[in-house]
Structure 1
Amino acid sequence: MSDPEFDRLGIWNWERPDIRDEIRYAQYAEEKGFDTVWQGESRLVRDAMTVMGAYSQVTDRIKFAPGVTNCYTRNVALMAQTFSTLHELSDGRAMLGIGAWWDPLASKVGIDRQNPLRYMWEYCTVLRRLLDLENVTYDGQFISVDDIELDLVRSDAGPRQVPIYIGATGLTMNKMSGELVGKGVIDGVYMNYLIPPSHNEQAMKALTKGVEKQGGHIDDVDRPQLIAVSMDEDRDVAIDNARGLVTQYIGQQPHIRENCGIDPEIGEQVEQELGGWPASAEDIERASRLVSDEVVTNIVAAGTPEDCVQKVSDYCDAGCTEPSLYSLGPNVEEVIDTFAAYKTAK
C-alpha cells in the first residue's frame, strides 16, 4: 500500500492550559506548511474572535477560522463587522466556520433553537450579501434587517472575500449546505469529528443532492473536517487517552451515539452513567469503562503515528478535502511534524 498524501492540512486549537500555546501552535503549523488553523468555540470557552485577531498579527500566510462559532449569539450585522475587520487585519486570510450550536447549552443562555435549518439559511444569506457590500433589506422568518450595509467610509471599500463553511453533521443540514454552495452563498461544510468515515460517505450523498439541485457539482463544495488525533508509540496508551472524550460525546450527543458503532443498549448505559451535562470527571471515568477500543478507533485517529496517518487518510478517501487535526494530548508539535511529512509539495 502506498503512503498516504495530503494536499492540504490544518490544525484545530482548543482549550490549551496556556493560551500562548495556541498562538505558538498556529505559528508552528504555518512554519511546517499547514494551510489553516481553526479555533474551537463550541462551549463557553475562549472567544475565537479574540484569538484569531492575535493569529492575524503573528502569522503571515496561514488562514484561520472559528471551528465553529454559532449563528445565534452574534447578530448577523455584528458577524459581518467582525469578519470584515479580521479580513482587513489578516490581508484576506479570515474564514468563517458557523454552526447551529446545541442544547442544553443554547437553552441555558436563552437561545430558542426552533428550526435551525431555516435560521442558518437566512443568516448565511444576509451575511454573504453584507460581506459583498450590498445594501440589504431582508424580511425572513427569523432574520429581519432594514436598509443596512457595512460602513467602510474610512477603510478599504472592496468586497470581503470571506469563505463561509457551515458546521454540518446531520444529513439534512448537509443537503441544505450543498444548496447554499450551489447558490453561491457559502463555500463548503466543516465536517464534524467523532464520526466514522462511513458517515462522510452519507454526507457526500446529501451534499451532492443539495448542490446539484441548484445546478452545481460536488466538486464545488469544499469539505475540511475536524478529526481527533490521539498519537502515541504505544497504541494502547493512545486509545486510552481518547476514551474519555469519546465517552462524553456518546453520552451527550445523540448524533455521535447513533453513528459511532456502539451497541445502542450500551450507548444508553453510557448516557445514564454520565448523568447529564456537564459530567464530572468521576462520571466520565465510570462511563468510559463501557466504551470499547473498537468504538474509540472507529471515530478517532488513535494509535501509533502510522495508525493515525492511515485513519486520517480514510477520512479523506471518504470525502474530506482537508484534515483539521485536533491533538488530544500535549504532543501537538509531534502531530504536526508527523503529518507534515505526508504533505504534498505545492
Structure 2
Amino acid sequence: MTTFDRVGIWNWERPDIAEELHYAQYAEEQGLDSVWQGESRLVRDAMTVMGAYTQVTDEIDIAPGVTNCYTRNVALMAQTFSTLDELSGGRMKLGIGAWWDPLASNVGIERENPLRRMWEYCTVTKRLLDLENVTYEGDTLAVENIELDLVRSNADARDVPIYVGATGPTMHKLTGELVGLGVCGGVFMNYLIPPEHNELGVEKLEEGVEKQGGTLGDVDRPQLIAVSMDEDYDAAVENARHLVTQYIGQQPHIRTACGIDPERGEEIKEELGSWPAKEADIERASRLVDDEIVTNVVAAGTPEDVVERVGEYCEAGCTEPVVYSLGDNVEDVIDVFAEHKAS
C-alpha cells in the first residue's frame, strides 16, 4: 500500500470561510500534519485566515501557500509572522513566492529581477525573525537599523522556517542555495505540473544546496497537488477541467511547466482572454483542454487513482503532499490520505 510520511491540506476559495476553518480542524483531528492557505489571487488574504486557524487548532502546522515577496515589506512580513508564531505556539511556516503577471503589474508592482528579490527578501526576513538588528542595501530592497521591537512581549527568536514557492529551475537552484546558507527550510513545490517536472526541480535544488555546502536531505520539499476524487473517473476529470484551463490560460509559469504543447497553451490563453476571466470565458476555453491535459497535472479519478498519482509526485521528489480537493468532498479526501499515512 502507498504510504506517506507526512500529509497536508491546502485551503482555498471555499464558498463559506467557516468551511476552511472546519477543514483545518478536521485535518488535525485525522492526524494530518499541515494546513496551507492560498494567497496567489485577490480572493481571501492568508494572514487573516491563518490567524483564525491558530485559535481553532492545537497541533497542526500552518503556512501560507504562498504569499508573495512584493506586497508586504520585509519588516511587516517579519512582524506578522512573529505575531502568528506567538498565536500558534510555534507552529508557523512562511511560504513566499514571486507572484505573477498581469496581476502584479495591474496593481502597480514591477517584478524586475524576481530571483534577486526573493534572495534579498528571504535573507532580510530571516534575520529579522532571528531578532537581529538589520541594515541591508540590496538591488531590490534596502533597510536601515531595523529590528522587531519586542520590548513587552516574548523576546525569543522566532523559529519560522521559510519555504520558497518555486516553479522554474533557476528558482529551485536559488532555493537550494538559501537552504544551504541556513536562510530557508525548503521549497514549496507548485501544482498543476506533472510529476516529472519535479525531477528537474530536485536536480536544481541539489545543485544549489551543494554549492553552499549542504545536501539534498537538508531541503524539505512539500508540494501542492490538486486532487479531484470521485468514484466516477470521468466525473473526477471533468471537475478538474475548469481549474486547469484557468491556470494554463492565465499564469505563464504554469503554462510553461505543465507539459502542454506550447501552441495549444497559447490558444487557451487567447481563448480565455484577459485577467480576471469570467466563468463563460473559462467554459469556452476549456474545450481546448482534453482529458490527457487534465490528468497530466491533476491527481484525478477514484481514491485508488488519486493515491497512486500522488505517490508518483513523492517518488519524483516531494516529501509532503499538500492536497487540494477540487470538489466538495474535502473530508473524504482527508480521510483517504489519513488512511495512507505511515504510522
When normalised by structure 1's length, the TM-score is: 0.98
- Paired position in structure 1 for 2:199: 201
* Distance 1:264-1:141 versus aligned 2 partners, 3 A rule: closer
CA deviations over 1:221-278 (Å, ceiling 9, x no partner): 0000000000000000000000111111121223322333333322222111111212
- Paired position in structure 2 for 1:176: 174
Name which of 104, 108, 111 aligns with 1:110.
Answer: 108
Mark the runs of 5 or more structure 2 residues left unpaired by the alignment. Answer: none
Name which of 122, 142, 154 aligns with 2:140.
Answer: 142
SS in structure 2 of the partner of residue 289 of structure 1 = helix
Name which of 77, 80, 83 aligns with 1:79.
Answer: 77
SS in structure 1 of the partner of residue 112 of structure 2 = coil
- Cα distance between partner residues in 2 of 1:148 and 1:280: 44
- Paired position in structure 1 for 2:57: 59
CA deviations over 1:41-73 (Å, ceiling 9, x no partner): 111111111111111111010010011001111
SS in structure 1 of the partner of residue 264 of structure 2 = helix
- Cα distance between partner residues in 2 of 1:256 and 1:138: 33
- Cα distance between partner residues in 2 of 1:259 and 1:126: 29
Residue pairs, 1:169-318, within 5 angstroms: 169-318=167-316
Letter in 2 for 1:72: Y
Q: How many residues align?
A: 343
Residue 91 (structure 2) pairs with residue 93 (structure 1): yes
**C-alpha deviation, 1:171, in angstroms:** 0.5
Name which of 30, 33, 39 aligns with 2:31.
Answer: 33
- Cα distance between partner residues in 1 of 2:273 and 2:138: 39
- Paired position in structure 2 for 1:119: 117
- Cα distance between partner residues in 2 of 1:245 and 1:21: 20
Percent sequence identity over aligned pairs: 74
- Cα distance between partner residues in 2 of 1:261 and 1:204: 17
The two structures, once aligned, show a CA RMSD in angstroms of 0.9
- Paired position in structure 1 for 2:158: 160
Letter in 1 for 2:115: L
SS in structure 1 of the partner of residue 288 of structure 2 = coil
- Cα distance between partner residues in 1 of 2:154 and 2:258: 47
Residue 168 of structure 2 contacts residue 257 of structure 2 at CA under 8 Å; is this kept in 1?
Answer: no
Residue pairs, 1:309-328, within 5 angstroms: 309-328=307-326
- Cα distance between partner residues in 2 of 1:234 and 1:334: 14
- Paired position in structure 1 for 2:331: 333
Moved over 6 A (4+): none
- Cα distance between partner residues in 1 of 2:16 and 2:277: 23
SS in structure 1 of the partner of residue 247 of structure 2 = helix
CA deviations over 1:80-104 (Å, ceiling 9, x no partner): 1100011111110011001110011
- Cα distance between partner residues in 2 of 1:47 and 1:254: 22
Residue 233 of structure 2 contacts residue 302 of structure 2 at CA under 8 Å; is this kept in 1?
Answer: yes
- Cα distance between partner residues in 1 of 2:60 and 2:287: 40
**C-alpha deviation, 1:149, in angstroms:** 0.8
Residue 6 of structure 2 contacts residue 33 of structure 2 at CA under 8 Å; is this kept in 1?
Answer: yes
SS in structure 1 of the partner of residue 157 of structure 2 = coil
Letter in 1 for 2:68: N
Letter in 1 for 2:295: T
- Cα distance between partner residues in 2 of 1:246 and 1:47: 22
Letter in 1 for 2:318: C
When normalised by structure 2's length, the TM-score is: 0.98
SS in structure 1 of the partner of residue 96 of structure 2 = strand
Residue 167 of structure 2 contacts residue 257 of structure 2 at CA under 8 Å; is this kept in 1?
Answer: no
- Cα distance between partner residues in 2 of 1:44 and 1:269: 25
- Paired position in structure 2 for 1:47: 45
Residue 8 of structure 2 contacts residue 322 of structure 2 at CA under 8 Å; is this kept in 1?
Answer: yes
**Higher deviation after alignment, 301-310 or 257-266:** 257-266
- Paired position in structure 2 for 1:4: 2
Letter in 2 for 1:123: Y
- Cα distance between partner residues in 2 of 1:131 and 1:251: 37
